[in-house]
Amino acid sequence: MDTQHEMIICLGSSCFSRGNSKNLRIIQDYLKKNNLETKVDFKGNLCSEHCNLGPILQIGDRIYKHVDESNIISILNDEFGGNL
């Protein structure tokens, strides 16, 4: 069985209001469309301790900063495109 990949979106007030509210929906759609829902352990946390660099998204041990609508799909494609 494949190891699950962990992805954590910061849902703290700073990240949430600066874009992770939209990013959350984009990620949920992406996981669904690409049949990744069972392969990616996707969850939220309340602060990733990089508030001034948010919105923050963690995938495995990588921390993505300033994640927004313009870069989120390419981040997800880099992480998950064809590699699972």
Q: Is 48 in the site for ligand FES (CB under 6 A)?
A: yes
Q: Is 23 in the site for ligand FES (CB under 6 A)?
A: no
| Ramachandran region, residue 58 (left: φ > 0; alpha: ψ -120 to 50; beta: rest) | beta
Which pair of structure tokens corresponds to residue 74? 């390419």
Q: Which of 7, 9, 10, 40 binds ligand FES (CB under 6 A)?
A: 10
Report in angstroms how near the CB of residue 54 gets to ligand FES at its nearest: 5
Which pair of structure tokens corresponds to residue 79? 């992480």
Compute φ and ψ for 48, nearest 5 degrees.
-100, 10
Contact residues for ligand FES (CB under 6 A)? 10, 12, 14-15, 47-51, 54, 56
